[in-house]
Amino acid sequence: MNKALNPNSVHAPVGVYSHTVNVPPSARWVAVAGQVGVNARGVLAKGIRRQAEQAFRNVLACLRENGMRKQDLVKLTVFLTDARLIAEYRAARARVLGDAVRPASTLLIVAGLASADMLIEIEAWAAKG
């Protein structure tokens, strides 16, 4: 089982994440390409909260297809197009992942994504022992 660890020599996480996640040596790894707020029919959700929720649901669907769950997440990298979207992103993350799932995480503010209408992209790494 993956184990989150926040060293005492580093400041406490400022969000719902862990500074490190220790993965057992025998674990199987899955890399999930950047997911955006597009559903299975190819429709982009409207607004940051809906796009973020859909992107997280897409990540979880990719994990399920690989026999994994949200608890197997090790690392998230989140790309937002505007810092003013952070609160809505965090609300969507809490709604879909909950507060108990705390992978290592990086949040970046970027100038743009593949389409000007896309507000968020989430890539992930997961491991299961």
CB neighbours of residue 74 within 10 Å:
21
Length of the chain: 129
Residue 123 pairs in a beta bridge with 77
What are 33-50's pLDDT values in tens digits? 999 999 999 999 999 999
- The enclosing domain of 75 has a CATH number of 3.30.1330.40
Tell if the pTM clears 0.85, that is, is over it.
yes
Task: Write out the DSSP string of 37-67.
Answer: SB-TTSPBPSSHHHHHHHHHHHHHHHHHHTT
Side chain identity at residue 4, one-letter code: A
Token duo for residue 73 = 């997440």
- pLDDT mean over 5-13: 95
Range of the structural domain that residue 119 is part of: 3-128
What are 99-111's pLDDT values in tens digits? 999 999 999 999 9
Domain count, the chain: 1
